[in-house]
Chain A
Amino acid sequence: MQPTPYVVRRHTVSSKIAIVVAILLLLAIPTMPFWASSGHIRLVVELSCLIAIAQMWNLLAGYGGMVSVGQQAFIGAGGYSLFALSAFAGLNPFWSVPLAMILPALLAAPSYLLLRKLDGPYFAIGTWVLAETFRLITGNLDVLNAGSGMTLRAMSQFSAHQREVGLTILCSLLLLATIGGTFLMLRSRLGLALTAMRDDAVSAASQGVNVGRMRFWIFVVAAMGTGLAGAVYYMAQLRISPGSGFDPYWSSICIFIVMVGGIGRLEGPIIGALIYFFATRLFGEYGATYLIVLGILTLIVALFAPGGLWSLLSKVRDWPWFPVGHRLERRAEAP
């Protein structure tokens, strides 16, 4: 029997390059305290948090089919967990960051069960109500200093350099967990189910995918990832308040980043985050006008280019960074 002339490959040239670059970057970030300025380190931390939060929103909306305008609920929950664990349990804040994922998970489970009865767009507003509920409760709890917010005093026991080392390591871990975790998940059989669900939930269900249960887990995992990012972000800020941690503007950022970058693909949120990040650095001074432009761009992309920048680019050249698909290639001819 002749071997078939075709072979199934997962990697492409572009994806091999991209993976190598990604690993190098992840290893490079924790070295920054030794050669980069504090200002640059703060920028990298902020960018990493944006990418992580956006990836989680992408997981929810692009793969789970659940649009949320209330992820700030978990950003605040993650941030406050960190501050509370540090202030009341006396734990080392760096170790508290991973622990800060617990509260978001615990909040996400009942939240999903409540909200799943709502139709798509109403589900979205429901997530916003949830975020507002958390904000109001937090703002009313005197133990958390109510509306004034909390400070991460425990960090003062570390030198600036030590804080930066800890923060950058956490940054890399954050990116590894969110991007890396999603990538590995998508490559697996779970990923096939997820992609099927993304493309057509009813058909996926008919093929045996338990859509309800998957959505539940996606919601919880996304909440955990978002909470982790929130903890890292507010660790860098050293201060948190209900108005900031639960700010609805977080959702505006997520939506802009994922829609403009490209929903339903891993590459999209990274591109979108870079665009948002640099655009805000360059045009943020224009305040309200800049935000008008962001809003209009989101509107236009949603109506006329719903796949975002990545899908437009893919039409020109298909160079994926993350090899989640399978390709059929001609086997090289035997000599």
Chain B
Amino acid sequence: MKWVDAVVQGLLLGSLYAQYAIGMSLMFGVMRIVNIAHGDLVVLLALIGISIAAVLGLGPGFIVLLLVPIGAAVGWILQRGILNWAVGEDPLPSLIATFGLSLALQNFMLTVWQADTRSLDAGALTTRSVELMGIHVGVLPLLIAVVAVVLTWSLHMALKTTKFGRALRAAAADSVAATISGVNTKAIYAQATAIAVAVLGIAAVFQATRTTVSPSDGGAQLIYAFEAVIIGGMGSIWGAFVGGLILGVAQVVGSRIDPGWGILIGHLVFLLVLAWRPQGLLSRR
């Protein structure tokens, strides 16, 4: 029973990682850009959300509604202002550029918000739980999981069936051919990044209610997002989702074996997947 409980908790944690990962998968799959500041953006949005809540006295529900457009705006500015200069054949410029951005962003947050840890109060939601088949499952984690599934499914369907999704996939496959087919690639990239960061806005609220947030957390979140994408398979939104779940389970099960080992076991599972099936578990290659 203890292990079933660990797996369930792991799946719930993993669905938060999935929310980090689907944005990263979108950006890399489409633009071949890895944003090293991805994790720092989650932290930034979380801190903004916490501050707004403190100043305006709003609950988490309202904060989500505010953070989605704020996240979208941040993503759009990021793409148009910085990343559009780095899109191209060579992945080195965007890698180094976002690395510098990450360093600057973390220290900017340190300056503004200090090193204290903060969190968002979700009130009753944090403590309520339901019983599912003999296991106590928190309402908040369950909500995170449901939202993760909805976001993943929506993004997947959007890519497959909408005009925007087709244009994005076309730009990813061949940006020159997309341009002569009428796609404004720079605008499409900005929209994709806006969506990716808007999703991070939702994830940020969940992270802030689930645990405490501090300016230097960004690196860890980036690594979890990345591990989830690789485990699940690059180029697949559902892959990023499944990868997140697996990572979550690995971490929780690991921490039940020994409290200091949770994250390490996650890394080891990642390295194992890399050794045994490097294209990812859900990849068709």
A contact set with B: CB distance below 8 Å: 61, 67, 69, 114-115, 117-122, 124-126, 128-130, 132-133, 136-137, 139-140, 248, 251-252, 255-256, 259, 288-289, 291-304, 306
Contacts and interface: CB of A to CB of B under 8 A. Distances in A.
Contacts of B111: 288-289, 292
Interface string B25-39: 000100011101000
A133 B264 contact: yes
B223 A132 contact: yes
B274 A67 contact: no
A126 B34 CA distance: 12
A298 B96 contact: yes
Interface residues of B, number: 46
B93 to A, nearest CB: 5
26 contacts: A67-B96, A69-B99, A117-B278, A132-B223, A132-B267, A133-B264, A136-B260, A136-B267, A140-B260, A259-B96, A291-B104, A291-B106, A291-B107, A292-B104, A292-B108, A295-B101, A295-B102, A295-B105, A295-B106, A296-B100, A298-B97, A299-B100, A302-B96, A303-B86, A304-B85, A306-B96
Given A133-B264, A303-B86, A118 B100 contact: no
Contacts of A137: 264
A243 to B, nearest CB: 12
B185 interface: no
Chain A binding surface, main DSSP class: helix
Interface string B70-103: 0000000000001001100001111111111111
A129 B279 CA distance: 17
Contact of B267 (A121, A133, A304, A306): A133
B102 A124 contact: no
Nearest to B110: A288
A132 B230 CA distance: 17
A67 B93 CA distance: 11
Nearest to B225: A125
A304 B84 CA distance: 12
A200 B271 CA distance: 29
Contact of B223 (A118, A125, A139, A303): A125
A298 B107 CA distance: 14
Nearest to B267: A133
B275 A114 contact: yes
Contacts of A291: 103-104, 106-107
Given A291-B107, A302-B100, A121 B95 contact: yes
Nearest 9 CB-CB pairings of A with B: A295-B104, A298-B100, A295-B103, A121-B34, A299-B100, A117-B278, A302-B96, A302-B97, A288-B107
B164 interface: no
B20 interface: no
A297 B100 contact: yes
Nearest to A289: B111
A236 B222 CA distance: 33
Contact of B278 (A118, A130, A296, A306): A118
B252 interface: no
A298 B97 CA distance: 6
Given A114-B274, A117-B274, A125-B223, A140 B264 contact: yes
A125 B28 CA distance: 13
Given A129-B270, A297-B100, A67 B95 contact: yes
Contact of A129 (B99, B102, B110, B223): B223
Which residue of B98, B100, B105, B261 has the most chain A CB atoms within 10 A of its CB atom? Answer: B100
B92 A294 contact: no
B36 A69 contact: yes
Nearest to B219: A248
B264 A296 contact: no
A115 B86 CA distance: 24
Contacts of A120: 91-92, 95
Nearest to A248: B219
Given A121-B28, A126-B274, A303 B85 contact: yes
Interface in B211-239: 219, 222-223, 226-227, 230, 234
B268 interface: yes
A139 B259 CA distance: 13
